[in-house]
Amino acid sequence: MPLDIARARAETRGCESILHLNHAGSSLMPIPVADALIGWQREEEFRGGYETAARHRGMLENFYDATARLLNCHRDEVAFIENATRAWDMAFYGLDLGPGDRILTAECEYGSNMIAYLHRAKRTGCVIDIVPSDNHGQIDVAALDRMIDGRVKLISISHIPTGGGLVNPAARVGAVARRHGIPYLLDACQSAGQIPLDVEEIGCDFLAATGRKYLRGPRGTGFLYVRRNWLATLDPPLLDQHAAELISETEYVVREDARKFENWECHFAGKAALGVAIDYAVGWGIGAIRDRVQPLAADLRTRLATIPGVEVLDEGAEKCGIVTFRKADEGAEAIKKRVADQGIHVSVSGDSGSRVSYDRRGITQAVRASVHYLNTEAEIERFARVVSES
């Protein structure tokens, strides 16, 4: 069933005034999500934060059920964390890595994740090995398989990179990880809400994502999934008295579910509203969202490619809603500003966020126009026309 785009737009106040192509940065919250967020904060103003949380405990608990439905996991395997980076960190820094232990990752790995690998390499002597890309530009799964030896302690990739339209073959990577019994950490920051995520099918042990992008939740929200068999052994790098209980002057007991990776104090309004956002996205159907987003983005690539001087930069056998390009006679920041003057929102992907991939491909900056299901064909046509008009 095709999505009812008129309804999606009627339920998104932001659509009335702007042409938003920055869903990979931060999407537009739908009305039920914005109302849940603002309503919660309004209630905090009058009633107090603790009292509001106590009155709406069900909404906070719904976040775990909604995320479990999104990922096909159990609610006990889910932690609410303020963003994808910290969620990812809680798993990554919880893993034991020693001198000579190898981390395998992909060329298009996210900048912050690369920094964390380098950080730990400095501290522990672990080694980062970058798996080459195949001729589609995505991780070469056969090469990954060949690179595995007894020293590989982690396979860790971004499902969709921040600065390009490819979709890495996450489930094929998972099959390799499973076969060799290696932990697998998936950064699903750009894929959550955009393409279906089933942790059983993907075979990942840990998955991190954010709320504000394709899930259309509030800023300052995210989550971590930790597979049940890791819950007892994955040691949180930080603990507070929500994650653990102090039972004597010298002892504490760490809780058994994934909430041991959470902070006690957090963005309560955001957590409740993220649950609403996930329910809302699942209500549309994530498969249906993918089936709407991918052809729209393909249409945009086709239109951009006909503009003289424009080079579309997206790789991948499967491509997603992120469309990246550069223009011979106009810089990315200049394009961003020029289209913003006409009420169109895009972002610029810099080389730091995609260092290995961008350096190897000779890219310093790209315009990133990210499409979501609520965008229309007319908007795509208009944006391409504005790009061509410099």
**By the criterion CB under 6 A, which residues form the site for ligand PLP?**
83-85, 110, 158, 161-162, 187, 189-190, 210, 222
Give least dist CB 377 to ligand PLP, A: 26
Min dist CB 289 to ligand PLP, Å, is: 18
Q: Which distant-in-sequence residues (6+ apart) come within 8 Å of 192 by Cβ?
A: 70, 209, 210, 213, 214, 215
**Residue 47: CB minimum distance to ligand PLP, A:** 29
Q: How many CB atoms lie within 10 A of CB 264?
A: 9
Question: Nearest distance from residue 110's CB to ligand PLP, in Å?
Answer: 4
Q: Which is nearer to ligand PLP, 166 or 312 (CB)?
A: 166
Name which of 290 and 303 has its Cβ closer to ligand PLP: 290
Cβ distance to ligand PLP smaller for residue 56 or 169 = 169
Q: Phi, psi (5° rounding) for residue 267?
A: -85, 85
DSSP string of 94-162?
Answer: TS---TT-EEEEETT--HHHHHHHHHHHHHH--EEEEEPB-TTSSB-HHHHHHH--TTEEEEEEESS-T
| Greatest Cα-to-Cα distance within the chain, rounded to the nearest angstrom | 71
Which residues make Cβ contacts (< 8 Å) with residue 129, sequence separation at least 6? 102, 103, 104, 105, 147
Cα 373 to Cα 132, 226, 369: the distances in Å are 32, 29, 13
SS3 194: coil
Q: With respect to ligand PLP, which residue has the nearer C-beta, 9 or 205?
A: 205
CA–CA separation, 21 and 28 (whole Å): 10
Please say which residue, 217 or 236, places its beta carbon nearer to ligand PLP.
Answer: 217
Q: Closest separation between CB of residue 308 and ligand PLP, Å? A: 30
Cβ 331 to ligand PLP shortest distance, Å: 21
- Residue 193 Cα to chain centre, angstroms: 9
Total number of residues shown for the chain: 390
Q: Which is nearer to ligand PLP, 52 or 194 (CB)?
A: 194
**CB closer to ligand PLP, 56 vs 80:** 80
Rounded Cα–Cα distance for residues 213 and 219 (Å): 9
Shortest spacing between CB 155 and ligand PLP, in angstroms: 16
